Amino acid sequence: DLVRLIRELHGQYFGIAVAGHPEGHPASVNEKEEMIHLKEKVDAGADFVLTQFFYDASLFLTYVKRCREYGITCPVLPGIMPIQSYLSFKRMTEYCGVSVPPEVMERVESVKDDDEAVKEIGCDIAAEMCELILNTPEEDGGVDGVHFYTLNLERSVTRILIMMDAIEHSASGVPAEMTSASEEH
């Protein structure tokens, strides 16, 4: 109803995202009803679907294919949350009901007492998920964009983008795009 109301009152003035849940919304009765409800939101005027964070890229790819099977053709952006600390990772995944593949848990738990190592492994995991999703063919659930949940901790996202060769790294530690732009002004 909210998406429809925004479109009625404001037309195309706003871009509208709706939430997607690769592992299923906790209040959903079943997968089919959840997909029908998501399709209704998209048909009411949503521009794209932004998913809850996840740590199993295969769940996201399957979710996108399921969206397409239900006629949801708008962009579906994966929500990527870099792991910042072991405790916050455990707390957020448990609170949100996000599953963690054993191999991800093993990598994080192996360094859980070293905050910097956890961030580094977390960036590795996020970059690997992004690269897998972005390099998967569209018919297999691949998409051409991602959304990072930064939680005001943008350095990890910068690190991930550098790891993916999406931005260049300068000697100062600041992305090259930022240093060249500031030098021009």
**How does pLDDT run across 37-61, given as a tens digit for each residue?**
999 999 999 999 999 999 999 999 9
What pLDDT does 177 receive? 57
Amino acid letter for position 51: T
- Residue-wise pLDDT for 1-21, tens only, equals 899 999 999 999 999 999 999
Where b means 16+ CB within 10 Å and e means fewer, 125-135 reads: bbbebbbebee
Q: Are 89 and 104 in contact (CB under 8 A)?
A: no
Query: Please, which residues bridge with residue 17 across strands?
Result: 48
**And the tokens for 82?**
């870099």
- Per residue, what are the HEC states of the chain? CHHHHHHHHHCCCCCCEEEECCCCCCCCCCHHHHHHHHHHHHHCCCCEEEEEECCCHHHHHHHHHHHHHCCCCCCEEEEECCCCCHHHHHHHHHHHCCCCCHHHHHHHHCCCCCHHHHHHHHHHHHHHHHHHHHHCCHHHCCCCCCEECCCCCHHHHHHHHHHCCCCCECCCCCEHHHHHHHHHC
Percent over 90 (pLDDT), the chain: 84
Q: Note the pLDDT tens digit of each residue in 100-119.
A: 999 999 999 999 999 999 99
pLDDT band at residue 178 under the 50/70/90 scheme: low
Determine contact, residues 111/45, Cβ cutoff 8 Å.
Answer: no
Cβ contacts of 5 within 8 Å, gap of 6 or more? none
Rounded CA separation 37/84 (Å): 33
Q: Is the pLDDT of residue 175 over 80?
A: no
Higher pLDDT residue, 178 or 86? 86
Residue-wise pLDDT for 126-164, tens only, equals 999 999 999 999 999 999 999 999 998 899 999 999 999
Phi, psi for residue 173 in degrees, rounded to 5? 90, -5
